[in-house]
């Protein structure tokens, strides 16, 4: 997603501009169809990361291709500066805005990732990230891999929705409320809500491996993408500095557990995360200097969460390795003290 700034002292995320659905039941003008669409994401963006993880866990790679915008953008939008020639190799566009304007001439809302683009027309179909996660899980079932997990188990959906709503307001969006606050009171309010919620989540996770039930659900995907960026970006850049994630033992172990689970850590590029946050938000970091730290190798250290039980994929199985073009850089091995 792209950051949005309101005219008030408090950060307000602007509404999404193309909230269509892709469905198998005929309830929308966009049918589920293999190879018709391309998912555009960015390694830096947590909102896009959620959809990429869900696509990985469900095994939709063979039917829905993935384009990756680079970590840097300008006033024209996300751009494909890491691709050969600076254009997406399938859509042939330099800026994601082009696909939005193909769909809505004169488009004047936020150009955000994730976005699903119809390949033949080059038009954005939807940028509704939360609907995409749910629809990938419930509308694309004919194309799920064997052993795909159930990320929205029917008997748990109300609980998932309640937890996810709290996580969205206080954590996912909460770090942005801290980082883009224009007044001290607005920052203080967001900071207090963020760490109160993290403390409550830490207490919940101290006795159970996952947020809802004994398997990974969408609630875990939602929380994890913010935790994965916490020390690399939010702690310093967004002034969320009561403590690092690495100093919150339960959440740090929970985050490492998921990082080491296929489908999570293999979607993360810490360098692109830092390049984006520190390099794009000139209002927050006018020098554009990107920090060298922190050392990411700690993500590979043992977490001990297995002792809480739980079955990551329920009755399913882990996804296989990512397709070669989608692989992210490997982390350095952690140093061992002797």
- 27's tokens: 């309830």
Binding site, residues?
78
Binding site for glutathione, residues?
78
176 is catalytic: yes
CA distances from 194 to 168, 169, 211, 234, 245 (A): 10, 9, 17, 11, 13
- 120's tokens: 């033949």
Q: Are 213 and 308 in contact (CB under 8 A)?
A: no
Listed as own residue / partner, the contacts of 78-82 with beta carbons closer than 8 Å and 24 or more positions apart are: 78/2, 78/40, 78/42, 78/111, 78/113
Q: 30-31 and 22-23: which strand pairing?
A: parallel
- 299's tokens: 């993500």
| Dist. CA 98–CA 77, nearest whole Å | 9
Torsion angle of the four alpha carbons 173, 241, 6, 167, in this order, in degrees rounded to the nearest 10: 10
Catalytic option among 100, 107, 129, 176? 176
Would the CA dihedral through 11, 15, 16, 17 be positive or negative? negative
Kindly report the three-state secondary structure assignment for every residue of 113-126: CCEEEECCCCEEEE
The radius of gyration computed from the CA coordinates of the chain, to the nearest angstrom, equals: 19
187 is catalytic: no
Catalytic option among 45, 107, 187, 277? 45
Query: Which are the catalytic amino acids?
Result: 45, 176
């Amino acid at each position: 997603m792209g950051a949005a700034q309101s005219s008030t002292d408090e950060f307000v995320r602007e509404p999404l501009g193309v909230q269509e659905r892709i469905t198998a039941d005929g309830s929308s003008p966009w049918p589920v169809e293999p190879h018709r669409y391309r998912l555009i994401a960015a390694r830096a963006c947590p909102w896009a990361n959620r959809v990429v993880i869900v696509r990985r866990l469900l095994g939709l790679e063979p039917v829905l291709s993935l384009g990756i915008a680079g970590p840097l953008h300008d006033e024209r939008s996300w751009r494909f500066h890491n691709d050969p020639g600076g254009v997406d190799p399938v859509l042939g566009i330099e800026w994601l805005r082009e696909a939005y304007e193909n769909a809505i001439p004169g488009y004047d809302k936020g150009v955000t990732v994730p976005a699903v683009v119809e390949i033949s027309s080059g038009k954005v179909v939807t940028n509704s990230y939360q609907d995409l996660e749910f629809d990938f899980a419930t509308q694309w079932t004919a194309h799920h891999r064997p052993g795909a997990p159930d990320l929205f188990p029917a008997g748990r959906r109300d609980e998932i929705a309640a937890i996810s709503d709290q996580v969205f307001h206080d954590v996912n969006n909460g770090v942005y409320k801290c980082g883009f606050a224009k007044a001290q009171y607005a920052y203080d309010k967001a900071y207090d809500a963020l760490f109160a919620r993290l403390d409550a989540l830490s207490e919940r996770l101290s006795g159970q491996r996952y947020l809802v039930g004994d398997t990974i659900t969408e609630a875990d995907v939602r929380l994890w993408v913010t935790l994965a960026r916490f020390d690399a970006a939010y702690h310093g850049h967004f002034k969320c500095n009561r403590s690092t994630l690495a100093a919150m033992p339960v959440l740090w172990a929970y985050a490492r557990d998921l990082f080491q689970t296929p489908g999570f850590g293999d979607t993360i590029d810490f360098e692109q995360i830092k390049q984006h946050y520190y390099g794009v938000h000139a209002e927050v970091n006018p020098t554009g200097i990107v920090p060298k730290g922190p050392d990411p190798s700690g993500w590979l250290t043992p977490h001990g969460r297995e002792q809480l039980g739980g079955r990551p994929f329920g009755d399913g199985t882990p996804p296989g390795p990512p397709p070669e073009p989608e692989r992210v850089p490997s982390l350095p091995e952690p140093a061992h003290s002797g």
